[in-house]
Amino acid sequence: MQALALAGDIQATGRTVDEVRQLIEKGLKRYVPDPAVSVALKQIGGNFIYVIGKVNRPGQFPFSKPVDVMQALALAGGATPYASVNDIRILQRDASGVKSIPFHYSDVERGRELGQNILLKSGDTVVVP
């Protein structure tokens, strides 16, 4: 969290650079009409997703812009020939525990059921069996 004298306390964790910029602008508008705000990312500190299982490059991947499931699979080099691409699960942790979200690659690849190609949050794990 960063405190700015005129904008107040800004919680940057878990937000994009643009979201932080907008929050600062909103805080400053009380004191400065049409504020010009620039926000730059110096270091990624904790925004990681994980792709494990039958992918070509499993691992931890940092991100600074939103990443969806298909993009995460691309970061991991795609699925191996033996992967069960229609049984992929996304594991998300929140205050109530861990939830498992199904992902059927073939549907999304064909342009169907695109709603399952969700934006991943920091800490999410894509499991490719």
d(CA 109, CA 53): 19
Pick the closest to residue 57 from 82, 77, 83, 84 (CA basis): 77
Q: How far is CA 51 from CA 4, 33, 62, in A?
A: 36, 45, 11
User: What pLDDT is attached to residue 45?
Assistant: 64
- Strand order across the 125-128 sheet: 59-62, 48-53, 125-128, 88-94, 97-103
Q: Which of 123, 121, 103 is nearest to 50 (CA)?
A: 123
User: HSE of 6 in the Cβ direction (CA atoms, 13 Å)?
Assistant: 11
pLDDT at residue 4, rounded to an integer: 54
- pLDDT tens over the chain, length 129 residues: 444 565 667 777 767 888 888 888 888 888 888 888 888 777 656 689 999 999 999 999 998 888 999 999 999 999 999 999 999 999 999 888 999 999 999 999 999 999 999 999 999 999 999
CATH code of the region 48-128: 3.10.560.10
The CA-CA-CA angle for residues 39, 123, 95, to 5°, reads 105
The pLDDT score that the predictor gives to residue 6 is 59
* pLDDT at residue 112, rounded to an integer: 94
Q: What are the residue boundaries of the structural domains of the chain, listed by start? A: 1-42, 48-128
